[in-house]
Amino acid sequence: MARIAVIGTGYVGLTTGACFAHLGHDVICADIDADKIERLKRGEIPIVEEGLGRIVSEALAAGKIKFVVGAVNASSYAEFHYLCVPTPQGEDGSADLHYLEAAAEEIGPCLPTDSVVVNKSTVPVGSTEVVAMHLKRSDVQVVSNPEFLREGTAVKDFLNPDRVVIGASDQKAAIRVAALYSRVRAPIMVTDPVSAETIKYASNAFLATKLSFVNAIANLCEHVGADVNDVTLGMGYDTRIGKDFLRPGPGWGGSCFPKDVAALAKIAEDYGYDFTLLREVLAVNNAQFDRTAQKVLQALGEDLSEKKVAAWGLSFKAGTDDLRESPAVEVLQRVSGAGAQITAYDPAVPNGVKELPLVEVVSDPLIAAKDADVLVVLTEWPEFKFVDFDQLAEQMRGRVIIDARNLLDRSVLLRRGFTVIGIGR
Ligand code: UDX
């Protein structure tokens, strides 16, 4: 087993460190946030991730994971150094690498000889060279090992990946990193660093393209009178299309897709390729936020002054409390901006949302529905399917439901006198 330093304890770093410890390695996780490190030492997990709390507690009890403040206090004693620092979107759409460069400069002088530094964060094509330059160490290898973790299922995705991708110019370094995954049953693909970095962006951009396509098909279904549920079912039988990632919605979001699609478009532009398709994928997604908001506003009618909207769902997808680039927030910003009063409920978001200062957030879906003229479902939380719809009918003033995730059972609602407007059906 190996000694691994993980620099950064966000969604990617904490999951990576905990899972490597779960696989038997000795892990030291470092962060600049001392308070966060103190909480992690007590096994307190600051994010909603299925199973993460358990494997962190087990690793702490077994002495397989430690949490320290400062990257130097982790990297001085490790053989592998996973960089899991943020690569936020810059003003021009490109990924901002200053955290990555700072981390490399910080650990460069303290790295034991023959260390391997590994880029786990999503970094622009060519970043392996950038990290090597900032490390200033000729006796250290830099490898790309991109993450393919989905929020809410990150632990499962790490321990049961579809594939492990390793990008290295030094074959021995690639083999050493591949050995870290010896207990993971998945194909391990070794390629050069640039190809590994491109695989990550291309994968996310393809998935976003698939979603923008299915949202556009849903909109077409509304025009031609088709049922998108049947259309996507019929499409998905073709194994080249596949049944996954074909659920239309209010648009897609999260901390990765928007950032990564914009970054890939910028990378293409910087390298002289006009990736018009990607710009259209982003445009279709923004139009889907507008279209969903329009459905709510049309249902409310002209005069919004006394009108009330109930919103179920604020997080960017079910299973997480993450509000970053949430489609629900995008839609509600548009509806709130038009002057409607909104009360929202989300099982994972107990408090107000800073991007929605006028939206009241309550602790129960039926409380949110009180006196509402329109209910809009924006996140596909399963619990919304099991609300008492007789009580909902009593609570609401109006009878219109905009189901932007096609989540609810339409026949149950129609029997109770509701009008249901979905996406593509
Ligand atoms: C994504 C990629 O899936 C993952 O491989 C990568 O490592 C990080 O980015 P994540 O951002 O956690 O993961 O969310 P994901 O589950 O992919 O959903 C992204 C967005 O697409 C969400 O807003 C979700 O609601 C939406 N979505 C997803 C749909 O609208 N329809 C679908 O069928 C699937």
Give domain limits for the chain.
Answer: 3-191, 226-425
| Whole-number pLDDT of residue 369 | 98
Q: Which atom of ligand 1 is nearest to the CA of 152?
A: 12
Residue with tokens 């049961």: 160
What confidence category does residue 122 fall into, taking pLDDT thresholds of 50, 70 and 90?
confident
Residue 247 Cβ inside 6 Å of ligand 1? The answer reads: yes
Residue 77 Cβ inside 6 Å of ligand 1? The answer reads: no
| For range 277-290, the mean pLDDT | 97
Beta carbons within 10 angstroms of residue 305's beta carbon: 8
| Whole-number pLDDT of residue 302 | 85
Q: Which atom of ligand 1 is nearest to the CA of 215?
A: 30
| Whole-number pLDDT of residue 232 | 98
The rounded percent of the chain whose pLDDT value lies above 70 is 100
Task: Answer whether residue 388 shows pLDDT above 90.
Answer: yes
* Rounded-to-integer distance, Cα 220 and Cα 185, Å: 41
Task: Answer whether residue 165 shows pLDDT above 90.
Answer: yes
The rounded percent of the chain whose pLDDT value lies above 90 is 93
* Cβ–Cβ < 8 Å for 56, 68: no
Pocket test for ligand 1, best of 52, 150, 210 (most atoms within 8 A of CB): 150
Strands 400-403, 419-421: parallel, antiparallel or unpaired by DSSP?
parallel
Residue 150 Cβ inside 6 Å of ligand 1? The answer reads: yes
Low-confidence winner among 86-100, 246-260, 343-357, 382-396 (lowest mean pLDDT): 86-100
What pTM value is reported for the model? 0.95
Pocket test for ligand 1, best of 155, 162, 211 (most atoms within 8 A of CB): 211
Name, in order, each residue with C-beta under 8 angstroms of 22's C-beta and a sequence gap of 6 or more: 55, 58, 59, 64, 159
| Whole-number pLDDT of residue 363 | 97
| Whole-number pLDDT of residue 136 | 97
Domains 3-191 and 226-425 are alike in CATH topology: yes
What superfamily does domain 3-191 belong to in CATH? NAD(P)-binding Rossmann-like Domain (3.40.50.720)
Q: What is the pLDDT of residues 243-254, one digit of tens each?
A: 999 999 999 999
| For range 304-332, the mean pLDDT | 95
For ligand 1, the distance from its centroid to the CA atom of residue 42, given in whole angstroms, is 31
Which residue has the CA at smallest separation from atom 13 of ligand 1?
Answer: 150
CA 345 to each of CA 254, 313, 315, 380: distance values in angstroms, whole numbers, following the listed order: 19, 6, 10, 12
Residue 256 Cβ inside 6 Å of ligand 1? The answer reads: yes
What confidence category does residue 91 fall into, taking pLDDT thresholds of 50, 70 and 90?
confident
Residue 156 Cβ inside 6 Å of ligand 1? The answer reads: no
What confidence category does residue 92 fall into, taking pLDDT thresholds of 50, 70 and 90?
confident
CA 255 to each of CA 12, 345, 378: distance values in angstroms, whole numbers, following the listed order: 11, 21, 17
Q: Which atom of ligand 1 is nearest to the CA of 257?
A: 9
* Rounded-to-integer distance, Cα 8 and Cα 84, Å: 5
Residue 149 Cβ inside 6 Å of ligand 1? The answer reads: yes
Tokens of 375: 């209910």
Beta carbons within 10 angstroms of residue 329's beta carbon: 26
Is residue 19 flagged as an active site residue?
Answer: no
CA 13 to each of CA 17, 76, 86, 364: distance values in angstroms, whole numbers, following the listed order: 6, 18, 10, 33
* Cβ–Cβ < 8 Å for 353, 314: yes
Angle between helices 193-224 and 276-300 (to 10 degrees): 40
Q: What is the pLDDT of residues 132-148, one digit of tens each?
A: 999 999 999 999 999 99
Task: Answer whether residue 2 shows pLDDT above 90.
Answer: yes
* Rounded-to-integer distance, Cα 366 and Cα 364, Å: 6
* Rounded-to-integer distance, Cα 8 and Cα 341, Å: 40
N-term to C-term CA, the chain: 53
| Whole-number pLDDT of residue 77 | 86
Pocket test for ligand 1, best of 48, 206, 256 (most atoms within 8 A of CB): 256
| Whole-number pLDDT of residue 414 | 97
When computed from its CA atoms, the radius of gyration of the chain, rounded to whole angstroms, is 23
If we measure between CA atoms, which residue out of 119, 178, 170 comes closest to residue 141?
Answer: 170
Higher-pLDDT residue of 332 and 302 is 332
Task: Answer whether residue 123 shows pLDDT above 90.
Answer: no
* Cβ–Cβ < 8 Å for 254, 317: yes
Q: What angle do CA 78, 81, 87 make, to 5 degrees?
A: 155
Tokens of 238: 């073709």
| Whole-number pLDDT of residue 125 | 87
If we measure between CA atoms, which residue out of 228, 225, 250, 388 comes closest to residue 315?
Answer: 250
Fold classified for 226-425: Rossmann fold (3.40.50)
* b (16+ CB within 10 A) / e for 188-215: bebbebbebbbbbbebbbebbbbbbbbb
What confidence category does residue 257 fall into, taking pLDDT thresholds of 50, 70 and 90?
very high
Tokens of 199: 């695989």
Report the mean per-residue pLDDT for the chain. Answer: 96
Low-confidence winner among 27-36, 171-180, 261-270, 368-377 (lowest mean pLDDT): 261-270
Give 345-348 contacts, CB < 8 A, sequence gap 24+.
Answer: 345/310, 345/311, 345/312, 346/312, 346/313, 346/314, 346/315, 346/321, 346/379, 346/381, 347/381, 347/383, 348/48, 348/315, 348/320, 348/321
| Whole-number pLDDT of residue 242 | 97
Say what the alpha-carbon torsion angle 192, 195, 197, 201 is, to the nearest 10 degrees. Answer: -170
Q: What is the pLDDT of residues 189-226, one digit of tens each?
A: 999 999 999 999 999 999 999 999 999 999 999 999 99
* Rounded-to-integer distance, Cα 9 and Cα 80, Å: 16
* Rounded-to-integer distance, Cα 82 and Cα 118, Å: 5
